[in-house]
Amino acid sequence: MSYNSSSILILYASYGHGHYQAAKSLQASLFERGVPRVTLLDVMAESHPLINKVSQFIYMQSFTTIPHLYGWVYYSTRKMKATSLFGKALHSLGMQRLQTVLEQEQPDLVIHTFPQLVLPNMKKRWKLTMPLVNILTDYDLHGRWLHPHVDHYYVPSTDMKQDMLTHDILPEQISVSGIPLRADFDHLSTDTYEVSHQAERSQLRIRAGLQPESKTVLLLAGAYGVLKNVREVCDQLASRTDTQVIVICGKNESLLQELNTHYGDHPAFTLIGFTDRMNEWMMMSNCVITKPGGLTVAECIHCALPLFLLKPVPGQELANALYLQSYQAAEICDSSTALAERLMIALDQPEILERMQAQLRTLQTPQASHYIADDLIERYLSQAHATQLVKVPLKPNLRTTIN
């Protein structure tokens, strides 16, 4: 089968950024390989915009006012079953909108980068035959991702594969792929820009207007009030003569203005708003202070960039942090004072960061978006599968089955 007539549907969610970014990255890789129709759909945003806005608000509040409540919900549902009453109710949201898209797109394959598993919930009832695939975007296995009608799982680590095997998922249903990253990370291979290769790192720093030989700390301040908790760290870094600091604020303009007030005139501080060069900023840094979202963790693993984490939010972020800590690739700190102390020790003893880098390299995977795209084409869009996958007709009376 020539897959230049194939249609693929990727379902994502706009909570955080990693789910959408993974979907965009995979879409680009599939386009590069000649798949002409790859449609992205945020099911909740399009089908239940009010519920989606409330959910986004709660997600944002989890970083500031209700982190422990969010964590309690996450951990209390971690072992949920898709076949439970709660699982069925959760996975039924967005059914009508998804039905309309299925009728329009007639996809040969459906991919999830967020565990809103509407389609697996409908697959048996509607006798649908297109394959369903999940791409997990955190380093902790939550029960929302698992469903008996999902055909294949792409997971970020061998540890997660082993965990999934204990949930009666067959080994042949699981591929260790890593998490799809933006194209700029995939195109900047760690084989070429090895973070321990001082000459390459120095060139990146020179192009960015930094001191080529100075120790470099990257601070991803984000939009969640992280900065106010690490001002003490910034003050200590500002007192060092051998260290420079890159602070990236994203689209948080007020945060950037506040930083400029305190550090704008300091020669060791580079303050940045939104950037499309995150791969280069990571590659030129010795370590990073950040929150451990799944995508950020995957980027740091790709760049072998040691992480210093301040009070990760209970839930998937704390789980990601504990995963890295179990490999001695990250430091989890419960206060800005503790973070400052550990960071200063690591900067003064380079062998600490080198050990963390070595551990991160053991966690690296192939370029995930390319690997997954190639595997999907071979697994589901090849000549061997043409007969059952070229078209998947939906029942003419399908609309009446969900009213």
- One digit per residue, the tens of pLDDT, for the chain of length 403 reads 456 678 999 999 877 677 889 999 999 999 999 999 999 998 776 665 666 566 666 666 666 677 788 888 888 888 888 778 777 767 677 677 788 888 888 899 999 998 878 888 777 777 888 899 999 999 999 999 999 999 999 999 999 999 999 999 999 999 999 999 988 886 555 544 454 467 778 889 999 999 999 999 999 986 565 666 778 888 889 999 999 999 998 888 888 888 899 999 999 999 999 888 899 999 999 999 999 999 999 999 999 999 999 999 899 999 999 999 999 999 999 999 999 999 999 999 999 999 999 999 999 998 999 999 999 999 998 854 544 443 444 444 343 333 2
Residue whose token pair is 């020539």: 2
How far are the Cα atoms of 149, 287, 313, 396 from residue 124, in angstroms, in the given order?
8, 48, 37, 17
Residue 379 tokens read as 């697994």
Residue 150 contacts residue 119 (beta carbons within 8 Å): no
Residue 188 has what pLDDT?
A: 54
Q: Is the separation of the CB atoms in 215 and 243 below 8 Å? A: yes
Q: Which two tokens stand for residue 162?
A: 């082993």
Question: In this predicted structure, what is the pLDDT of residue 352?
Answer: 98
Instruction: List 7's β-bridge partners, or say none.
Output: 37
Contact 273, 285 (CB under 8 A): no
Length of the chain: 403
